[in-house]
Amino acid sequence: MMKLKVTLISLGVCAMIFSCATNPFTGKKTMAFVSNAQLFPTAFAQYDQFLTDNNVVTGTKDAEMITRVGQRIAVAAERWLTANGNAGYLNDYKWEYNLVDDETVNAWCMPGGKIVFYTGILPIAANETGVAAIMGGHEVAHALANHGQQRMSAGYVQQGLAVAGNVAIQDEQSRNAFNQYYGVGSNVLGMLPFSRSHETEADKIGLYLMAVAGYNPDEAAELWKRMKANSGGDAPAEFMSTHPSNDTRINNLTQWAPDAKKEAAKFGVTSFRAI
């Protein structure tokens, strides 16, 4: 049994070592147990099904704005990646931007660049720069940083450790206690901080991209002030949430905005579009 445990652990360590990718925006090694070649086709199919099942808005000024902002952010991302030695990184991305008639205050981006904006978030976005702060300033950044791939990989690790614990613990009472505490502990101490780190990473990447695309990064903090007002203060404690608090985001975005402007200046962007 001890030999089996050692073998399982060794295999797990090897899998983690050889199943890593490098995030071009941060230079960090990230888990990649599922390749984009596997992930993207599934995401694209799910996206197409979602569009079939929902009311997609087309031909309106708002729908055209969503596409226009998305395209500018995608171009900014390609310029940034090429300038930093990652030309071709986006070759497998199939960008698509759709506005969906839904009162939900949300927007999201699937792996590979498939984006949905709900009409319910437009009043809080308030203007095109607000849309850019949400779209590039956040949703596109998740896709570019392969956060979907990383979350899936982290889920495999979480499940794998649970299985290893149940194999290693022979006593039934101890095993039941392990399962009870591991479930809560792995979420509060593992998955939730992991998710919050992704949100923070996407906020920063996106802030730079919106600036390179010609949108004023100062407006990102203003957007999150509106988000905070819309929430009415109804939010879980940060340590129990998948997202940083609104105040944390506002402070971070305010702090990062000057650096985002400096980054944009490297690409010749020294003034920004009107709101």
Q: Over the stretch 134-181, which tens digit does the pLDDT of each residue have?
A: 987 556 776 776 655 555 545 544 455 555 545 566 665 555 544 454
pLDDT of residue 33: 54
- Predicted TM-score (pTM) of the model is 0.73
Q: Is the residue at 273 inside a domain?
A: no
Across the range 52-75, mean pLDDT stands at 96
Active site (catalytic) residues: 139
Does residue 40 register a pLDDT over 80? yes
Long-range (24+ apart) CB contacts under 8 A made by 39-42 are 39/111, 39/112, 39/148, 39/149, 39/152, 40/92, 40/94, 40/111, 40/112
Does residue 28 register a pLDDT over 90? no
Residue 44 domain boundaries: 35-265
Q: Is the residue at 3 inside a domain?
A: no
What domain count does the chain have?
1
Q: Is the residue at 113 inside a domain?
A: yes
Confidence of residue 209 (pLDDT cuts 50, 70, 90): very high
pLDDT of residue 231: 81
Residue 270: CB atoms within 10 Å: 8
Q: Is the residue at 16 inside a domain?
A: no
Report helix, strand or coil for 100. strand
Per mean pLDDT, which range of 33-42, 60-69, 203-212, 256-265 is the poorest? 33-42
Q: Is the residue at 168 inside a domain?
A: yes
Q: Is the residue at 122 inside a domain?
A: yes
pLDDT in tens, 16-27: 444 456 667 666
Q: Is the residue at 104 inside a domain?
A: yes
Q: Is the residue at 23 inside a domain?
A: no
